Structure 1
């Protein structure tokens, strides 16, 4: 048989390169920031978002530029028919030369589960609607971290909104305002179509700190705490930076932790976490989900070790409580780990998932380290923008999927069935968990 000619070899290798290039995914660069401006009259509500409060109440939050607007929400089950109402409170804050609009918080209820309600804010006839979460399983969460407000953020939100879900969970880094306060307003307008229709439950990230050490009157998290009030008081917490809540009739307990609040064994957050997890009855609550910002497990070069001190201080509490899943953000990529505890694979530890790829302006974290000490624990990673879906189907099983949104459609790139640790006899997630309040603090 004759040897192929040099020309034939060149053609072959060119075709091979073209084939590889056609199938290899090309990661996109960051996109520009979207500046959303309001065209509404000053008295009209804007930046409307909702959050759950207890088993059957909802908090409606909005901003109006008219300081005389009432803290009033009228609501009902029929479009345009508001047969119930509630009043609440309002606040403002100042940041250098910026003065916020009037921020209104009104708690409404009791509400029926899995029901659409129509509502208006401040007596102004702009109608909104939301659907309450179901009172039992199944329930579906959308999960997205490090959102920001770029064209990629808009793509993420569009993909989330394309499929039905019951609640959005956000593990920190919302607006990326970074002291530029009008960007908080812009972010609120950008997310309003989704955040006014389904409850958004959030925790803080490093971009929410906005502190100036030389100016004592600018308290950390001032913008975040004024704008995004979560049900911390209802969960026995003393801070809006960490709290918990139950959904699906108590079948799922969600814990929001503060990566940038004190977490040592003498801290309020640590003591609260011991009490909160210790009161969970796994016979009634088969699922525990935790969200925080700085990941405890991470093979990406970005933000290496930034969650390590918190892991050393509190990981044993999550392990003893048999937490099922831990979601984190901060690293602008996606990564899913095995069940893990204390840097080792452990079938009774949580599944750790980093999902800091919502669309932020800083771009993607591309450099995953193949020789990282945790590389053997990492099951899947990809540096792409996207969001996740967690559907808790019953007491024993949930389905997780990660959807890359860089394509024209939200492509499913990773998926896995997760079994609740409460269903595992080997892990002993029985009734109320006894936690070690004075656990080992390695700080």
Structure 2
């Protein structure tokens, strides 16, 4: 029945598109499903194919006889199935833009997004020629930026060739800088694939902390609560696709070393499918973690990244999949960047590579991970130059709160070798000098709230009552195949809350210019396990 209606509607649209939007409304006045009756015709001045060639040297093209930007009546053509969108993700582009990214099995010559203020009137179109892949991936990442939007406004959108009865989604643009409307974000780190390729209720010996049967996962809880959040931050280690080797060796999945790249991609794709309901509705801002660098960062059973093909090293997949606002903030790829939402300035920093000042990052050549995934930028001081310039330019009259997010912590209850002291050397003094209020991290697979700490771990005597030093939160208990890490006791004097037994995530509520509240939420139950309110006299 649905397909019959689609065919009938497409026939109507084929005629109506020659008449313009008003003709469509006149021909189908009673049509109610999500298919927008004012889908615009393909703009006449758009190219049928980009000037550049595809990833493998050939000019990309859709099946013969179909233009690069097919009109809506052609979307039901079965020859276009490999071009249909999946794994949709969003990211802020200031308060008047939104980056929309999605995956397709084949390259799109002209990625396009239809959008508007109602699901029945997607009257605008944005396009690009940014459809990229790498040679072990089974999909292309398509990136389009929607510009000239209104701040704090809800829009509906549909990537080209999406199912108009199912794939119309919505987002809300960022609150304008200086807007003091309260809002809440969710923060996760070290969140991996769930189910048969990741964390489940029957992980084998050698892994840890299986789910209880029927237990609500972090991904599920975020989906249940997504309407509470302005956006989500994922502070490194996304999907844990590099755990394919450990899962094979432990007999959890079938495979061989030779099949490693294929297994890596399967785990990645499963994660992005599991996250689609969230990432297609909320801006999802990411930071780079060590498990995003190559196909075997775990170094399991003494295997190294030497078993990885070049395409699965150097953060290539991570940087192609996401589209963070680095180009508009002076950052670099998805490694470091900044953005504003209302009364908060967010800066994402890279703890893995490019630490500057002659320092060697953990994932740099010669670093503690014994990897060869960095440095990535030129000059070697690029990240630190960015951070100094970015933080110096913050207008605290408009964005009184400053939040820094990077993967590896340097304060936590853990073995000394687990503390990122080289990160501390690179970033700590800068963050203190710039008056950063909150530092978010992951890496350690538990949750720890420290007090505000000055350089070299000096405990701020004011505690949460107008401290000068940043508050440090490690929130790495979201869950993945390898479970949770036990915190090392006795806990440091600066530790105020530690959870190493339950999966969960953080929320940060910005109440006004002077108060924010951090909460740690149990994924299984939704119960708040820890809450702390920070007062700053901005």
Structure 1 match to 2:173: 132
1:216 to partner: Cα distance: 8.4
- 1: distance between equivalents of 2:89 and 2:353? 24
Alignment check: 8 A CA contact 2:107 2:131 kept: no
1:236 to partner: Cα distance: 0.8
**Higher strand fraction: Structure 1 or Structure 2?**
1
Q: 1:245-271 CA distances to partner (integer Å, 9 max, x unpaired)?
A: 1111xx211010111121133621111
Matched, 1:317 2:430: yes
- 1: distance between equivalents of 2:90 and 2:144? 10
1:296 to partner: Cα distance: 1.3
Structure 1 match to 2:329: 235
- 1: distance between equivalents of 2:518 and 2:131? 38
Alignment of structure 1 residues 21-32 onto 2, 5 Å? none
Number of positions where the alignment pairs a residue of Structure 1 with one of Structure 2: 373
Structure 2 match to 1:254: 346
Q: 1:150-206 CA distances to partner (integer Å, 9 max, x unpaired)?
A: 256962122223331110011101111115122222111110100000100001101
Secondary structure, aligned partner of 1:417: strand
Matched, 1:275 2:405: no
User: Gaps (5+ residues) in structure 1?
Assistant: 1-39, 424-443
Structure 1 match to 2:275: 191
Matched, 1:400 2:514: no
User: Gaps (5+ residues) in structure 2?
Assistant: 1-79, 201-215, 243-260, 296-304, 358-379, 461-466
TM-score scaled by length of structure 2: 0.66
Matched, 1:411 2:506: no
Q: Following TM superposition, where does structure 1 have runs of at least 4 consecutive aligned residues deviating by more than 3 angstroms?
A: 151-154, 211-219, 303-306
- 1: distance between equivalents of 2:186 and 2:331? 25
Alignment check: 8 A CA contact 1:73 1:123 kept: no
1:358 aligned residue (478, 482, 486): 478
Alignment check: 8 A CA contact 2:85 2:161 kept: no
Structure 2 match to 1:142: 186
Q: With CA pairs under 8 Å and 6+ residues apart, which has the higher RCO, 1 or 2? A: 1
Moved more, 328-337 or 130-139: 130-139
Alignment of structure 1 residues 93-242 onto 2, 5 Å? 93-95=133-135, 98-124=136-162, 125=164, 126-135=167-176, 136=179, 137-151=181-195, 155-163=217-225, 164-178=228-242, 180-210=264-294, 212=305, 217-218=310-311, 219-242=313-336
- 2: distance between equivalents of 1:120 and 1:282? 37
1:130 to partner: Cα distance: 1.7
- 1: distance between equivalents of 2:383 and 2:282? 28
**What is the alpha-carbon root mean square deviation over aligned residues?**
2.1
Structure 2 match to 1:378: 495
- 1: distance between equivalents of 2:279 and 2:332? 25
Secondary structure, aligned partner of 2:130: strand
Q: 1:298-346 CA distances to partner (integer Å, 9 max, x unpaired)?
A: 1134x84441111112210000011000010011100000000221102
Alignment check: 8 A CA contact 1:380 1:414 kept: yes
Structure 1 match to 2:507: 389
Alignment check: 8 A CA contact 1:143 1:168 kept: yes
- 1: distance between equivalents of 2:130 and 2:535? 43
- 2: distance between equivalents of 1:207 and 1:271? 25
1:69 to partner: Cα distance: 6.2
